[in-house]
Amino acid sequence: MEDKLKQFLEIFDSAMRQGQLVKLTLSKLRRRSDDLRNVYVKPVRLKSGDFFSFEHKYQSRHEVKNLSADQAVETIKALLELHFLQADLFGLQQDISLTIFTSGKMKLKTREVPKRESPDMKHDRQKKRLLDPASPWWFELGLTDREGRVLPSMQHKFKQINRYVEILAPLLKHLQKENPLKILDMGAGKGYLTFALHEYLTNQGNQNVTITGVEMRTDLVSKTNHIASNSNLEGLKFDAGSISDYPISQLDVLIALHACDTATDDAIAAGIKAEAKLIVCAPCCHKQIRKEMSAAPEQHPALQFGILMERQAEILTDTLRALIMEYHGYKSQIMEFVELEHSPKNLLLTGVKAKSEPDKTALANRISALKKEYGIREHFLEKALGITPF
Q: Do 231 and 144 reside in the same domain of the chain?
A: yes
Phi-psi label, residue 71: left if phi above 0, alpha if psi -120 to 50, beta otherwise: alpha
Does residue 156 contact residue 342 with C-beta atoms inside 8 Å? yes
Does residue 254 contact residue 277 with C-beta atoms inside 8 Å? no
| The pLDDT value given to residue 129 | 67
- Kindly state whether residue 59 falls inside one of the protein's structural domains: yes
- Kindly state whether residue 58 falls inside one of the protein's structural domains: yes
In the sheet with 94-100, reading across from the earlier edge strand, the strands are 62-67, 49-58, 36-46, 21-29, 84-91, 94-100, 106-112
Residue 134: CATH number of its domain: 3.40.50.150
Q: Residue 335 pairs with which residues in a beta bridge?
A: 348
- Kindly state whether residue 75 falls inside one of the protein's structural domains: yes
- Kindly state whether residue 150 falls inside one of the protein's structural domains: yes
Residue 383, number of CB atoms within 10 A of its CB:
15
Q: Residue 254 pairs with which residues in a beta bridge?
A: 184, 279
Q: Do 216 and 188 reside in the same domain of the chain?
A: yes
| The pLDDT value given to residue 172 | 86
| The pLDDT value given to residue 362 | 96
- Kindly state whether residue 347 falls inside one of the protein's structural domains: no
| The pLDDT value given to residue 340 | 40
Q: Do 90 and 138 reside in the same domain of the chain?
A: no
Q: Do 77 and 141 reside in the same domain of the chain?
A: no
Q: Do 97 and 174 reside in the same domain of the chain?
A: no
Q: Do 139 and 215 reside in the same domain of the chain?
A: yes
- Kindly state whether residue 385 falls inside one of the protein's structural domains: no
C-alpha–C-alpha distance, residues 148 and 91, integer Å: 37
Task: Catalogue the long-range contacts made by 169-172 (C-beta closer than 8 Å, 24 or more residues apart).
Answer: 169/130, 169/200, 169/205, 171/278, 171/280, 171/350, 171/352, 172/201, 172/205, 172/207, 172/253, 172/278
Q: Do 143 and 103 reside in the same domain of the chain?
A: no
Does residue 353 contact residue 275 with C-beta atoms inside 8 Å? yes
Please give the DSSP secondary-structure letter assigned to residue 162.
H
| The pLDDT value given to residue 81 | 92
Q: Do 103 and 172 reside in the same domain of the chain?
A: no
Q: Do 100 and 160 reside in the same domain of the chain?
A: no
| The pLDDT value given to residue 341 | 43
Where is the domain boundary, 82, 112, 142? Answer: 112
Q: Which residues of 150-189 are buried (b: 16+ CB within 10 A; e: fewer)?
A: beeebebbbebbbbbbebbeebbeebeeeeebbbbbbbbb
- Kindly state whether residue 173 falls inside one of the protein's structural domains: yes
* pTM beyond cutoff 0.95: no
| The pLDDT value given to residue 331 | 95
Q: Do 76 and 165 reside in the same domain of the chain?
A: no
Nearest Cα to Cα of residue 379 among 254, 224, 277, 264: 264
| The pLDDT value given to residue 78 | 95
Spans of the chain below 50 pLDDT: 1, 124-126, 339-344
Total domains in the fold of the chain? 2
H or E element at residue 378? none
Where is the domain boundary, 241, 276, 302? Answer: 241
- Kindly state whether residue 271 falls inside one of the protein's structural domains: no
Nearest Cα to Cα of residue 175 among 208, 129, 132: 208
Where is the domain boundary, 206, 241, 276? Answer: 241
Q: Do 143 and 200 reside in the same domain of the chain?
A: yes
User: 231 is in which domain, residue-wise?
Assistant: 130-241
H or E element at residue 177? none
Nearest Cα to Cα of residue 374 among 288, 299, 265: 299
C-alpha–C-alpha distance, residues 381 and 363, integer Å: 15
Q: Do 86 and 187 reside in the same domain of the chain?
A: no
Task: Catalogue the long-range contacts made by 165-169 (C-beta closer than 8 Å, 24 or more residues apart).
Answer: 165/130, 165/131, 165/196, 165/197, 165/200, 166/130, 167/335, 167/337, 167/348, 168/197, 168/280, 169/130, 169/200, 169/205
| Terminal alpha carbon distance of the chain | 61
